[in-house]
């Protein structure tokens, strides 16, 4: 029996003078084992951070929908810790680069630790807070204890007040790979 192999084409899309994206389609998904995985690698130049590589895996199988993404700096970086006090609506636009290995801490609200399903991404403060809102809403909806539901509701109110600029909080990102950053003059960079 002769096995027929399909030709896998790699597409390269030029996004700008410095940014480009490579796409490899119809790859085998590690979860559903079907040839429905799209692999994407792109280069992006982030102001005040430098060149990064963005990687993602997306399964197009409607029953699977596996997704994994990460970000890696083009240059070797030291482990790092970034801290920022968010205290106004203008802070919502501050750029965040978070690798899949980074821990995000918002004291008295949540600590997001990396794991096998942890993703890297480029976002802003508001994007981080919206991700946290989704997690807290899920915890509230899954909670059986009324005290836990009330704590979650209080956290959601605080997060909304921070987004609206009427309350402040601290965000800490710790990354042993050094591939994360808070890109702002307000951010304090330290050693991990």
Q: Confirm if 8 and 24 have CB atoms less than 8 A apart.
A: yes
Per-residue confidence (pLDDT) for residue 187, from 0 to 100: 96
Residue 146 has a CB neighbour count (10 Å cut-off) of: 8
Per-residue confidence (pLDDT) for residue 98, from 0 to 100: 93
CA 85 to CA 101: how far, in whole Å?
Answer: 22
Question: Cβ neighbours of residue 23 under 8 Å, at least 6 residues apart?
Answer: 10, 11, 12, 13, 38, 39, 40
Domain map (residue ranges) of the chain = 10-73, 80-191
Q: φ and ψ at 31, to 5 degrees?
A: -95, -60
One digit per residue, the tens of pLDDT, for the chain of length 192 reads 334 344 455 666 655 555 678 999 999 999 999 999 999 999 888 877 888 889 999 999 999 999 999 888 888 889 999 999 999 999 999 999 999 899 999 999 999 998 877 888 999 999 999 999 999 999 999 999 999 999 999 999 999 999 999 999 999 999 998 999 999 999 999 988
Per-residue confidence (pLDDT) for residue 50, from 0 to 100: 82
Per-residue confidence (pLDDT) for residue 49, from 0 to 100: 80
Per-residue confidence (pLDDT) for residue 19, from 0 to 100: 62
Question: Cβ neighbours of residue 176 under 8 Å, at least 6 residues apart?
Answer: 79, 101, 192
Per-residue confidence (pLDDT) for residue 7, from 0 to 100: 43
Can you give the pTM of this predicted structure?
0.78
Per-residue confidence (pLDDT) for residue 4, from 0 to 100: 39
Q: Which CATH number fits domain 80-191: 2.60.120.1040, 1.10.1740.10, 3.30.750.24, 3.30.420.40?
A: 2.60.120.1040
């Amino acid at each position: 029996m002769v096995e027929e192999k399909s030709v896998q084409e790699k597409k390269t899309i030029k996004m700008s003078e410095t940014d480009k994206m490579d796409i490899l389609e119809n790859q085998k998904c590690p979860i559903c084992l079907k040839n429905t995985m799209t692999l994407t690698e792109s280069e992006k130049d982030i102001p005040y951070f430098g060149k990064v590589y963005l990687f993602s895996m997306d399964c197009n199988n409607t029953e699977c929908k596996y997704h994994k993404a990460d970000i890696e700096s083009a240059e070797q970086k030291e482990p790092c810790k970034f801290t920022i006090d968010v205290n106004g609506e203008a802070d919502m636009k501050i750029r965040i680069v978070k690798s899949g290995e980074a821990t995000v801490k918002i004291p008295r609200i949540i600590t997001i630790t990396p794991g096998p399903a942890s993703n890297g991404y480029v976002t802003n403060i508001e994007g981080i807070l919206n991700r946290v809102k989704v997690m807290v809403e899920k915890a509230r909806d899954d909670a059986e204890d009324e005290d836990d539901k009330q704590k979650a509701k209080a956290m959601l109110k605080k997060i909304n007040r921070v987004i609206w600029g009427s309350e402040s909080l601290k965000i800490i990102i710790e990354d042993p790979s050094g591939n994360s950053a808070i890109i702002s003059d307000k951010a304090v960079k330290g050693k991990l």
